[in-house]
Structure 1
Amino acid sequence: MLRDINDVRRTNANWICANKFGGDRKQMADALDVSGAYLGRILNEGVSQPRNIGDDVARKIEEVGGMPTNWLDHDYERLPPGLEPLLERYKRSDPETQAMIRLALDDPDAPLPAAMRESLKTMIQAVRMAIASQIKP
Protein backbone atom coordinates (compact mmCIF):
# COMPACT_ATOMS: atom_id res chain seq x y z
CA MET A 1 0.00 0.00 0.00
CA LEU A 2 1.38 3.39 -0.98
CA ARG A 3 1.73 5.95 1.74
CA ASP A 4 0.51 9.52 1.40
CA ILE A 5 3.22 11.97 0.24
CA ASN A 6 2.78 13.96 3.45
CA ASP A 7 3.47 10.88 5.59
CA VAL A 8 6.51 10.02 3.47
CA ARG A 9 7.89 13.55 3.70
CA ARG A 10 7.28 13.66 7.46
CA THR A 11 9.08 10.35 8.01
CA ASN A 12 12.05 11.47 5.90
CA ALA A 13 12.18 14.92 7.52
CA ASN A 14 12.31 13.23 10.92
CA TRP A 15 15.14 11.03 9.62
CA ILE A 16 17.06 14.13 8.52
CA CYS A 17 16.47 15.73 11.93
CA ALA A 18 17.74 12.62 13.73
CA ASN A 19 20.69 11.86 11.46
CA LYS A 20 21.85 15.26 10.22
CA PHE A 21 21.01 17.39 13.27
CA GLY A 22 21.45 14.81 16.03
CA GLY A 23 17.75 15.08 16.86
CA ASP A 24 18.15 18.75 17.74
CA ARG A 25 14.97 20.35 16.39
CA LYS A 26 16.10 23.85 17.37
CA GLN A 27 19.25 23.46 15.27
CA MET A 28 17.18 22.19 12.33
CA ALA A 29 14.64 25.01 12.73
CA ASP A 30 17.47 27.56 12.75
CA ALA A 31 18.98 26.02 9.59
CA LEU A 32 15.55 26.20 7.91
CA ASP A 33 14.95 29.72 9.23
CA VAL A 34 11.57 28.70 10.71
CA SER A 35 10.24 28.74 14.24
CA GLY A 36 10.63 25.71 16.46
CA ALA A 37 6.85 25.57 16.85
CA TYR A 38 6.34 25.38 13.08
CA LEU A 39 8.98 22.65 12.71
CA GLY A 40 7.37 20.75 15.57
CA ARG A 41 4.00 20.82 13.78
CA ILE A 42 5.41 19.42 10.54
CA LEU A 43 7.65 16.79 12.17
CA ASN A 44 5.16 15.36 14.64
CA GLU A 45 4.03 11.99 13.34
CA GLY A 46 0.86 10.47 14.71
CA VAL A 47 -0.75 13.70 15.91
CA SER A 48 -4.34 14.31 14.90
CA GLN A 49 -3.61 17.30 12.63
CA PRO A 50 0.08 17.45 11.66
CA ARG A 51 0.95 20.23 9.26
CA ASN A 52 1.74 19.11 5.71
CA ILE A 53 5.17 19.73 4.21
CA GLY A 54 4.75 21.69 0.99
CA ASP A 55 7.10 21.56 -1.98
CA ASP A 56 9.10 24.67 -1.03
CA VAL A 57 9.66 23.51 2.55
CA ALA A 58 10.49 19.98 1.36
CA ARG A 59 13.21 21.32 -0.96
CA LYS A 60 14.61 23.49 1.86
CA ILE A 61 14.70 20.50 4.25
CA GLU A 62 16.61 18.52 1.62
CA GLU A 63 19.02 21.39 1.12
CA VAL A 64 19.84 21.90 4.81
CA GLY A 65 19.99 18.13 5.29
CA GLY A 66 22.50 17.72 2.47
CA MET A 67 20.19 15.47 0.45
CA PRO A 68 19.49 15.58 -3.30
CA THR A 69 16.42 17.35 -4.68
CA ASN A 70 13.22 15.28 -4.30
CA TRP A 71 14.88 12.91 -1.80
CA LEU A 72 12.16 13.72 0.74
CA ASP A 73 9.45 12.48 -1.65
CA HIS A 74 10.59 8.85 -1.84
CA ASP A 75 9.31 6.14 0.50
CA TYR A 76 12.54 4.52 1.68
CA GLU A 77 10.64 2.21 4.03
CA ARG A 78 9.57 0.36 0.87
CA LEU A 79 12.79 -0.96 -0.57
CA PRO A 80 13.04 -1.32 -4.35
CA PRO A 81 12.62 -4.87 -5.66
CA GLY A 82 15.84 -6.85 -5.41
CA LEU A 83 17.30 -4.71 -2.63
CA GLU A 84 16.18 -6.94 0.25
CA PRO A 85 18.76 -9.68 -0.47
CA LEU A 86 21.49 -7.05 -0.82
CA LEU A 87 20.49 -5.44 2.46
CA GLU A 88 20.40 -8.82 4.20
CA ARG A 89 23.91 -9.62 2.95
CA TYR A 90 25.10 -6.23 4.21
CA LYS A 91 23.54 -6.81 7.64
CA ARG A 92 25.25 -10.23 7.92
CA SER A 93 28.67 -8.92 6.89
CA ASP A 94 31.39 -8.13 9.42
CA PRO A 95 31.94 -4.52 10.59
CA GLU A 96 35.05 -4.10 8.42
CA THR A 97 33.14 -5.11 5.29
CA GLN A 98 30.27 -2.79 6.25
CA ALA A 99 32.75 0.07 6.65
CA MET A 100 34.21 -0.62 3.18
CA ILE A 101 30.71 -0.65 1.66
CA ARG A 102 29.86 2.69 3.32
CA LEU A 103 33.14 4.14 2.00
CA ALA A 104 32.36 2.93 -1.54
CA LEU A 105 28.88 4.48 -1.37
CA ASP A 106 30.33 7.80 -0.23
CA ASP A 107 33.14 7.88 -2.83
CA PRO A 108 32.15 10.31 -5.61
CA ASP A 109 35.11 9.03 -7.68
CA ALA A 110 33.93 5.42 -7.70
CA PRO A 111 34.34 4.07 -11.25
CA LEU A 112 30.69 4.06 -12.35
CA PRO A 113 29.44 5.23 -15.76
CA ALA A 114 27.35 8.41 -15.46
CA ALA A 115 24.15 6.70 -16.67
CA MET A 116 24.56 3.89 -14.14
CA ARG A 117 25.33 6.31 -11.32
CA GLU A 118 22.12 8.22 -12.09
CA SER A 119 19.97 5.07 -12.16
CA LEU A 120 21.41 3.86 -8.83
CA LYS A 121 20.71 7.06 -6.86
CA THR A 122 17.42 5.85 -5.40
CA MET A 123 18.83 2.47 -4.42
CA ILE A 124 21.93 4.05 -2.88
CA GLN A 125 19.76 6.43 -0.84
CA ALA A 126 17.73 3.46 0.46
CA VAL A 127 20.92 1.65 1.46
CA ARG A 128 22.30 4.80 3.11
CA MET A 129 19.10 5.23 5.07
CA ALA A 130 19.26 1.61 6.23
CA ILE A 131 22.91 2.02 7.22
CA ALA A 132 22.27 5.30 9.04
CA SER A 133 19.37 3.87 11.00
CA GLN A 134 21.63 1.00 12.11
CA ILE A 135 19.39 -1.86 11.08
CA LYS A 136 20.36 -4.81 13.24
CA PRO A 137 21.24 -8.15 11.63
Structure 2
Amino acid sequence: MDVTAIRSTNLQALVADLTRGGRNKRDAALALGMSGSYLSQLLGGKPMGNDVARKIEEAARLGHGWMDREHAATGVRDGTPPTYQVLRMDPETIAAAISLVRHTFALLELEHDNEDDGTPLAFAYEYLMERQEQQVTPDNLIDFSKRLAQKLRGNDENAAQGGNDRGIGGSDRRPRERREAG
Protein backbone atom coordinates (compact mmCIF):
# COMPACT_ATOMS: atom_id res chain seq x y z
CA MET A 1 0.00 0.00 0.00
CA ASP A 2 1.43 3.41 -0.91
CA VAL A 3 1.59 6.35 1.51
CA THR A 4 -1.46 8.04 -0.07
CA ALA A 5 -3.63 4.98 0.60
CA ILE A 6 -2.17 4.55 4.10
CA ARG A 7 -2.91 8.17 4.98
CA SER A 8 -6.45 7.85 3.64
CA THR A 9 -7.08 4.69 5.69
CA ASN A 10 -5.61 6.27 8.81
CA LEU A 11 -7.67 9.44 8.36
CA GLN A 12 -10.85 7.40 8.00
CA ALA A 13 -10.03 5.49 11.20
CA LEU A 14 -9.14 8.70 13.03
CA VAL A 15 -12.37 10.41 11.94
CA ALA A 16 -14.36 7.33 12.99
CA ASP A 17 -12.70 7.57 16.39
CA LEU A 18 -13.38 11.32 16.65
CA THR A 19 -17.05 10.97 15.66
CA ARG A 20 -17.95 8.45 18.35
CA GLY A 21 -20.39 9.45 21.04
CA GLY A 22 -22.68 11.61 18.94
CA ARG A 23 -20.04 13.89 17.43
CA ASN A 24 -20.19 14.61 13.72
CA LYS A 25 -17.61 15.10 10.96
CA ARG A 26 -17.70 18.85 11.48
CA ASP A 27 -16.61 18.29 15.08
CA ALA A 28 -13.85 15.98 13.84
CA ALA A 29 -12.72 18.61 11.33
CA LEU A 30 -12.52 21.24 14.07
CA ALA A 31 -10.54 18.85 16.28
CA LEU A 32 -8.11 18.33 13.38
CA GLY A 33 -7.80 22.06 12.68
CA MET A 34 -9.45 22.14 9.26
CA SER A 35 -12.74 23.01 7.65
CA GLY A 36 -15.48 20.44 7.25
CA SER A 37 -15.33 20.77 3.46
CA TYR A 38 -11.58 20.12 3.37
CA LEU A 39 -12.01 17.06 5.58
CA SER A 40 -14.72 15.83 3.20
CA GLN A 41 -12.36 16.31 0.26
CA LEU A 42 -9.65 14.28 2.02
CA LEU A 43 -12.13 11.55 2.93
CA GLY A 44 -13.34 11.59 -0.67
CA GLY A 45 -9.92 10.74 -2.03
CA LYS A 46 -8.04 14.03 -2.31
CA PRO A 47 -4.35 13.16 -1.80
CA MET A 48 -2.92 14.32 1.52
CA GLY A 49 0.45 16.06 1.44
CA ASN A 50 3.18 15.88 4.06
CA ASP A 51 2.27 19.24 5.63
CA VAL A 52 -1.37 18.24 6.08
CA ALA A 53 -0.40 14.84 7.52
CA ARG A 54 1.92 16.50 10.06
CA LYS A 55 -0.76 19.07 11.02
CA ILE A 56 -3.30 16.29 11.58
CA GLU A 57 -0.81 14.38 13.75
CA GLU A 58 -0.12 17.50 15.79
CA ALA A 59 -3.79 18.40 16.19
CA ALA A 60 -4.70 14.83 17.19
CA ARG A 61 -1.62 14.58 19.45
CA LEU A 62 -0.24 11.63 17.51
CA GLY A 63 3.40 10.77 17.08
CA HIS A 64 5.29 12.22 14.12
CA GLY A 65 4.77 9.98 11.10
CA TRP A 66 1.69 8.19 12.49
CA MET A 67 -0.34 9.05 9.39
CA ASP A 68 2.31 7.43 7.15
CA ARG A 69 2.36 3.98 8.81
CA GLU A 70 -0.11 1.13 8.69
CA HIS A 71 -1.62 0.32 12.09
CA ALA A 72 -2.89 -3.05 13.21
CA ALA A 73 -6.65 -2.95 13.62
CA THR A 74 -8.18 -4.03 16.90
CA GLY A 75 -11.74 -5.22 17.14
CA VAL A 76 -12.22 -5.16 13.36
CA ARG A 77 -15.38 -7.26 13.65
CA ASP A 78 -17.10 -4.68 15.82
CA GLY A 79 -15.95 -1.76 13.65
CA THR A 80 -13.50 -0.35 16.18
CA PRO A 81 -10.89 1.76 14.38
CA PRO A 82 -7.17 1.10 14.68
CA THR A 83 -5.63 2.18 17.95
CA TYR A 84 -3.07 4.93 18.16
CA GLN A 85 -0.70 6.06 20.84
CA VAL A 86 -0.79 9.68 21.91
CA LEU A 87 2.66 11.22 22.20
CA ARG A 88 2.93 13.04 25.50
CA MET A 89 6.23 14.46 26.59
CA ASP A 90 6.79 16.57 29.67
CA PRO A 91 8.69 19.77 28.76
CA GLU A 92 10.42 20.02 32.16
CA THR A 93 11.64 16.44 31.91
CA ILE A 94 12.87 17.05 28.36
CA ALA A 95 14.88 20.06 29.55
CA ALA A 96 16.32 18.02 32.42
CA ALA A 97 17.16 15.15 30.03
CA ILE A 98 19.05 17.52 27.72
CA SER A 99 21.02 18.83 30.67
CA LEU A 100 21.64 15.32 31.98
CA VAL A 101 23.03 14.16 28.62
CA ARG A 102 25.24 17.25 28.30
CA HIS A 103 26.65 16.84 31.83
CA THR A 104 27.08 13.08 31.42
CA PHE A 105 29.08 13.37 28.22
CA ALA A 106 31.21 16.09 29.82
CA LEU A 107 31.78 13.87 32.88
CA LEU A 108 32.73 10.92 30.65
CA GLU A 109 34.88 13.29 28.54
CA LEU A 110 33.15 12.23 25.35
CA GLU A 111 31.84 14.25 22.43
CA HIS A 112 28.19 14.08 21.50
CA ASP A 113 25.82 15.95 19.22
CA ASN A 114 22.08 15.57 19.99
CA GLU A 115 21.23 16.68 16.46
CA ASP A 116 23.35 13.85 15.06
CA ASP A 117 22.17 11.24 17.57
CA GLY A 118 19.15 11.75 19.82
CA THR A 119 19.20 8.25 21.33
CA PRO A 120 21.08 9.21 24.52
CA LEU A 121 18.54 11.98 25.01
CA ALA A 122 15.67 9.49 24.71
CA PHE A 123 17.52 7.19 27.14
CA ALA A 124 17.91 10.11 29.60
CA TYR A 125 14.24 11.06 29.24
CA GLU A 126 13.13 7.49 30.01
CA TYR A 127 15.55 7.35 32.94
CA LEU A 128 14.16 10.56 34.47
CA MET A 129 10.56 9.47 33.88
CA GLU A 130 11.23 6.16 35.66
CA ARG A 131 12.69 8.04 38.62
CA GLN A 132 9.91 10.65 38.44
CA GLU A 133 12.50 13.43 38.49
CA GLN A 134 12.64 16.68 36.57
CA GLN A 135 16.00 18.03 37.69
CA VAL A 136 19.61 16.99 37.37
CA THR A 137 21.06 16.10 40.76
CA PRO A 138 24.48 14.75 41.69
CA ASP A 139 22.83 11.42 42.48
CA ASN A 140 21.04 10.95 39.17
CA LEU A 141 24.01 12.36 37.21
CA ILE A 142 26.36 9.74 38.68
CA ASP A 143 23.84 6.91 38.32
CA PHE A 144 22.88 7.85 34.75
CA SER A 145 26.55 8.30 33.77
CA LYS A 146 27.27 4.76 34.93
CA ARG A 147 24.27 3.38 33.03
CA LEU A 148 25.10 5.26 29.85
CA ALA A 149 28.78 4.24 30.03
CA GLN A 150 27.72 0.62 30.47
CA LYS A 151 25.34 0.87 27.51
CA LEU A 152 28.06 2.48 25.38
CA ARG A 153 30.56 -0.24 26.37
CA GLY A 154 28.00 -2.87 25.39
CA ASN A 155 27.65 -1.23 21.98
CA ASP A 156 31.45 -1.11 21.52
CA GLU A 157 31.71 -4.82 22.37
CA ASN A 158 28.89 -5.64 19.95
CA ALA A 159 30.60 -3.65 17.17
CA ALA A 160 33.93 -5.41 17.86
CA GLN A 161 32.15 -8.76 17.44
CA GLY A 162 30.77 -7.64 14.08
CA GLY A 163 27.29 -6.81 15.35
CA ASN A 164 25.28 -4.17 13.62
CA ASP A 165 23.02 -3.21 16.53
CA ARG A 166 24.18 0.31 17.13
CA GLY A 167 21.92 0.80 20.16
CA ILE A 168 22.79 4.26 21.37
CA GLY A 169 23.74 6.11 18.27
CA GLY A 170 26.51 5.75 15.83
CA SER A 171 28.49 8.94 16.26
CA ASP A 172 32.19 8.93 17.09
CA ARG A 173 32.50 8.80 20.86
CA ARG A 174 36.25 8.85 21.32
CA PRO A 175 37.50 10.98 24.21
CA ARG A 176 38.03 14.59 23.17
CA GLU A 177 41.81 14.52 23.31
CA ARG A 178 42.09 11.40 21.09
CA ARG A 179 39.49 12.81 18.66
CA GLU A 180 41.41 16.06 18.26
CA ALA A 181 44.73 14.24 17.80
CA GLY A 182 43.26 11.65 15.37
Smaller-chain TM-score bracket: 0.3 to 0.5
Q: Specify the structure having the higher radius of gyration (Cα).
A: 2
TM-score by length of 1: 0.47
